Amino acid sequence: MQMEAMYEGLGISRSVYEYGEKILAELRPRFDGIDQVAEYNQAKVVAAMQKNRVNATHFAATTGYGYDDEGRDNLERVYADVFHTEAALVRPQITCGTHALAVALSANLLPGDELLSPVGAPYDTLEEVIGIRESRCSLKEYGVRYAQADLRSDGSFDYDAIRGKINERTKLITIQRSKGYATRPSFSVAQIGELIAFCKGVKPGVKVMVDNCYGEFVEPLEPSDVGADMVVGSLIKNPGGGLAPIGGYICGTKECVDRCAFRLSAPGLGQEVGANLGLMPAFYQGLFLSPTVVSGALKGAVFAANLYERLGFPCVPNATESRHDIIQAVTLGSREAMVAFCRGIQAAAPVDSYVTPEPWAMPGYDSEVIMAAGAFVQGSSIELSADGPIRPPYAVYFQGGLTWYHAKLGILMSLQKLLEAGLTQLP
Domain 61-278 sits in CATH 3.40.50.2020: no
pLDDT per residue over 345-380, tens digit each? 999 999 999 999 999 987 767 789 999 999 999 999
CA-CA distances (angstroms) from residue 352 to 13, 85, 267, 355?
22, 39, 43, 5
One-character DSSP codes across 104-164: HHHHH--TT-EEEETTSSPPHHHHHHHTSS--TT-TGGGT-EEEE-PPPTTS---HHHHHH
Q: Is the pLDDT of residue 278 over 70?
A: yes
**Across 266-272, average pLDDT:** 97
Q: Name the residue type at position 37.
A: V
Q: Is the pLDDT of residue 341 over 90?
A: yes
Exposed (0-12), middle (13-18) or buried (19+): which is 281, by Cβ within 10 Å? middle
Position 16 confidence tier, pLDDT thresholds 50, 70, 90: very high
Residue 269 phi, psi (nearest 5): -100, -50
Residue 181 phi, psi (nearest 5): -90, 55
One-character DSSP codes across 260-280: HHHHHS-TTTGGG----TT-H
β-pairing verdict for 328-331 and 395-399: antiparallel
> Rounded mean pLDDT of the chain?
96
Q: Is the pLDDT of residue 128 over 80?
A: yes
Instruction: Kindly report the pTM of this predicted structure.
Output: 0.95
Q: Is the pLDDT of residue 159 over 90?
A: yes
Task: Please report the pLDDT score of residue 364 as a whole number.
Answer: 66
pLDDT per residue over 98-111, tens digit each? 999 999 999 999 99
Beta bridge partners of 87: 252
Q: Where are the domains of the chain?
A: 2-42+288-420, 61-278
> CATH for 2-42+288-420?
3.90.1150.60
